[in-house]
Amino acid sequence: MATDDDADPARSLPPAGWLRDPAGQTRWWDGAQWTEHVRPARNGPAIASLTLIAVQLLLGSAWFVLGFYAASAGLTSYQWLIMLGGVLSWLLCISAVVLGVIATVIAVRRPTAKGPAVFALVASSVLLILLLF
């Protein structure tokens, strides 16, 4: 016995929009078929790594100014705060490098934008090298 869904196959198709196609790409579905329009998927770890780099640069600048002020004013009681900032900066930088590596691996394996992932990996690595010296 036929149902209403069997009579109209278009009823079971998803509405038009950006969807994942069988190949794993984000592609425009027009409601009946896939079109040639594709867009790179977002790379979450790359965005997270870039955010950590920005936070580290802001916090690192603030801690540098605070440390310079404390040293020039002879405020030795704030040394623990400056050391805490240094440890936090290290942790942020190491996290950014790890997320940059993950983002680069995702960008190579999936159809995502590679630019932000590579930039995040390079920028976080440069910051880590600068922290070492």
Least confident among 63-67, 89-93, 98-102: 63-67
Angle between helices 115-132 and 79-109 (to 10 degrees): 150
N- to C-terminal Cα distance for the chain? Answer: 77
Give the rounded percent of residues in the chain with a pLDDT score beyond 90. 2
Under 8 Å between Cβ of 124 and 53: yes
Q: pTM of the predicted model, to two decimals?
A: 0.58
Residue 78: C-alpha distances to residues 82, 83, 85, 87 (Å)? 7, 9, 11, 15
Of the candidates 46, 56, 57, 54, the residue with the CA atom closest to the CA atom of residue 98: 46
